[in-house]
């Protein structure tokens, strides 16, 4: 509800009901898209929707996992820190993507820290409620499993790429993903800061910069956060060669 661009802080005082856009996001998520609206509603409670400012954390690694989350709007990064204090960006989630289901379900602690990288709206689903509903609703359980399956596959690919591709090749791969075409040329914007992409691809900002410079020789023009790829196929060839 609420006008689709209406002042959000207005009716924040009490229960926050999902807005029209929120419902769109929920509907687009692979986890909830095929589920009954009533069921989804039953998962929500008073403080289900949180507005999170850029830089704010949604949850912290090693704290008890009491919720799973769905991005309704915005962008969230999933960061993991090692005992030695190093940080690694594991993945980045946009609207309609769920995360932390696994942690919430296994009744353990969050295995990553989540942080909004732009102002975001997050749906928080209580872990206990979630477990209940899953137990009572087999199709929901299957949807959860499918969702976990997707996450697993993404991570799998990520590992593969980290192990077998050089930095520039990983960047090429990332750009090809964004272009979402199989041939011809493409132009688009980088979805977030280069530092963040660099970290996501497992390299330093400096290496990222150099990698981008290297791709220039393959028909990739970069101005600010605008990217132009002359020849998608050529870029793919480069990627596959490493």
- The site for its own copies (CB under 8 A) is made up of 80-84, 86-88, 90, 101-103, 105-106, 111-112, 131, 134-136, 138-139, 141-142, 144-146, 148-153, 155-165, 199, 202, 239-242
Interaction between residue 80 and DNA (CB under 7 A)? no
What contacts 177, CB < 8 A, 6 or more positions away? none
Judged by beta carbon distances under 5 to 8 A according to partner kind, the member of DNA, its own copies, none in contact with residue 211 is: DNA
Give the pair of three-digit tokens for residue 104: 């919430």
- Closest Cα partner for 79 from 127, 56, 54, 111? 111
Interaction between residue 204 and DNA (CB under 7 A)? yes
User: In the complex, what is the shortest distance from the CB of residue 111 to its own copies, in angstroms, rounded to a whole number?
Assistant: 5
178-212 residues labelled b (16+ CB within 10 A) or e (exposed): bbeeeeeebeeebebeeebbbbbbebeeebbeebb
- Asked if 100 and 162 count as a contact pair (C-beta separation under 8 A), the reply is no
Residues 150-189 interacting with DNA (rule: CB under 7 A):
166-168
User: In the complex, what is the shortest distance from the CB of residue 167 to DNA, in angstroms, rounded to a whole number?
Assistant: 3
Q: Which is nearer to its own copies, 149 or 185 (CB)?
A: 149
Residues 92-131 interacting with DNA (rule: CB under 7 A):
none
Interaction between residue 211 and DNA (CB under 7 A)? yes
CA 80 to chain CA centroid, Å, is 14
**Helices then strands, each counted (H, E), the chain:** 9, 9
Judged by beta carbon distances under 5 to 8 A according to partner kind, the member of its own copies, DNA, none in contact with residue 84 is: its own copies
- Asked if 122 and 49 count as a contact pair (C-beta separation under 8 A), the reply is yes
Q: Which is nearer to DNA, 44 or 196 (CB)?
A: 196
Name the site residues for DNA (rule: CB under 7 A). Answer: 166-168, 193-196, 202-213, 222, 225, 242
């Amino acid at each position: 509800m609420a006008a689709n661009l209406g002042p959000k802080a207005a009716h924040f005082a009490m229960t926050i009901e999902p807005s029209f856009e929120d419902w769109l996001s929920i509907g687009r998520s692979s986890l909830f898209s095929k589920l009954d609206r009533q069921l989804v509603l039953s998962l929500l409670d008073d403080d289900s929707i949180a507005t999170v400012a850029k830089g704010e954390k949604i949850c912290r690694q090693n704290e008890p996992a009491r919720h799973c989350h769905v991005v309704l709007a915005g962008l969230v990064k999933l960061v993991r820190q090692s005992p030695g204090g190093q940080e690694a960006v594991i993945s980045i989630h946009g609207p309609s993507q769920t995360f932390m289901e696994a942690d919430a379900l296994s009744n353990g602690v969050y295995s990553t820290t989540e942080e909004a990288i732009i102002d975001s709206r997050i749906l928080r689903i209580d872990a206990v409620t979630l477990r209940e509903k899953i137990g009572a609703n087999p199709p929901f359980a299957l949807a959860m499993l499918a969702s976990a399956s997707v996450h697993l596959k993404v991570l799998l690919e990520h590992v593969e790429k980290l192990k077998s591709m050089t930095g520039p090749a990983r960047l090429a791969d990332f750009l090809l993903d964004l272009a979402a075409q199989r041939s011809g040329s493409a132009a688009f914007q980088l979805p977030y800061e280069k530092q963040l992409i660099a970290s996501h691809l497992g390299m330093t900002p400096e290496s990222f910069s150099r990698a981008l410079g290297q791709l220039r020789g393959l028909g990739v023009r970069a101005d600010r956060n605008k990217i132009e790829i002359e020849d998608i196929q050529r870029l793919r060839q480069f990627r596959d060669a490493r």
